[in-house]
Amino acid sequence: MIRVLIFTFLLLFSSANAIELVLSGTAISDNQKVLASRNMGYLKKMNVSEGDEVKKGDLLYEIDPTEVNAQKQMYRNQLNNILKNLERYERLFKKGMVSKYDLENMRLAAQNQREMLSIAEAQDAYLKVIAPNDGIIISKNMNEGEMVNPGMPVVVLTDLTDIRIVIEISENDLKNIKKGDKVKVDIPSIELSTEGEISSIIPASNPMTHKFKAKIKFDKAGKSVYPGMFARVTLEL
């Protein structure tokens, strides 16, 4: 009889009071960009250091144009040679000494070479890399005088105006959570206690932990929140 009463009391207590799930989270920027070079060349000028705040349109770094200029000159020389051969083919065709097929191939080669030169000339626009948005430089991987290869990360730009909290949710709890749910966010290091909501749930689990990631947008209440800060998130199930 006593056991039945205790069970009934616990059941009533659980129904009257929502179950809280407290999870650890990490602050991240939802707009972080890894800026790389599209061209090979020496890093001619680096205008930023780690921790620098930049504005959209600021010049971050500049690649020496020597390699690009050499490539453009090579394509120009090749085009000039093709055009000379094309003129010769035009004269020979009029005399019936080359076929129309050979003449068309030479014309096509000239057109292809013009396009290659045009692409090379367009690379000038990528020698100077500017900030695509306001933010802070959190990583600088190269210094002036070093050789940069295409695709090699040079700087990482983080937008501090778009900070989210990332948490991991177990499979068992996932069914009780949905986008738009209100949560409580605490960041002890800056004494911030605020409200937030789940902005997205990523439908891909970690194969080792079988947990799913969720992102939370929240009110920073005028405080400076940086990527990597520890957060405690409380959800009501």
CATH (domain of 109): 1.10.287
Tokens for 236, please give them. Answer: 């009501």
Residue 13 pLDDT exceeds 50? no
Q: What is the pLDDT of residue 3?
A: 41
Tens-digit pLDDT profile for residues 32-70: 999 998 888 999 999 999 999 999 999 999 999 998 999
Shared-domain flag, residues 167 and 226:
yes
Asked whether residue 109 is assigned to any structural domain, the reply reads yes
Shared-domain flag, residues 138 and 223:
no
Shared-domain flag, residues 23 and 131:
no
Amino acid 65 reads P
Give mean pLDDT, residues 101-118: 95
Tokens for 79, please give them. Answer: 């085009």
Give mean pLDDT, residues 209-218: 92
Tens-digit pLDDT profile for residues 178-202: 999 999 999 999 999 999 999 999 9
Rounded Cα distance, 3 and 93, in Å? 106
Shared-domain flag, residues 75 and 178:
no
Shared-domain flag, residues 201 and 166:
yes
pLDDT category of residue 121 using cuts at 50, 70 and 90: very high
The residues pairing with 135 across neighbouring beta strands, listed in sequence order, are 54
Q: What percent of the chain shows pLDDT beyond 70?
A: 92
**Quick check: 161 and 180 in contact, CB under 8 A?**
no
pLDDT category of residue 14 using cuts at 50, 70 and 90: very low
What does the DSSP assignment read for 110-174? HHHHHHHHHHHHHGGGGSEEE-SSSEEEEEE---TT-EE-TT-EEEEEE-TTSEEEEEEEEHHHH
Residue 216 pLDDT exceeds 60? yes
Shared-domain flag, residues 149 and 191:
no
**Quick check: 135 and 157 in contact, CB under 8 A?**
yes
The closest alpha carbon to 236, from 24, 75, 23, 71, belongs to: 23
pLDDT category of residue 207 using cuts at 50, 70 and 90: confident
Residue 209 pLDDT exceeds 90? no
DSSP 3-state of 13: helix
Asked whether residue 6 is assigned to any structural domain, the reply reads no
Asked whether residue 2 is assigned to any structural domain, the reply reads no
Q: What is the pLDDT of residue 17?
A: 57
Shared-domain flag, residues 168 and 85:
no
Q: What is the pLDDT of residue 18?
A: 65
Give mean pLDDT, residues 166-185: 92
Residue 7 pLDDT exceeds 60? no
Q: Which residues contact 2 (CB under 8 A, 6 or more apart)?
A: none
Domain that holds residue 146: 32-64+125-158
Q: What is the pLDDT of residue 20?
A: 87
Shared-domain flag, residues 221 and 168:
yes
Q: Which residues contact 56 (CB under 8 A, 6 or more apart)?
A: 131, 132, 133, 134
Tokens for 37, please give them. Answer: 């070079």
Residue 115 pLDDT exceeds 70? yes
Residue 194 is part of a domain; what is its CATH number?
2.40.30.170
Q: What is the pLDDT of residue 15?
A: 42
Asked whether residue 7 is assigned to any structural domain, the reply reads no
Q: How many domains does the chain have?
A: 3
Dihedral (C-alpha) 17, 21, 27, 32: value to the nearest 10 degrees? -110
Give the residue from 136, 158, 180 where a domain finishes.
Answer: 158
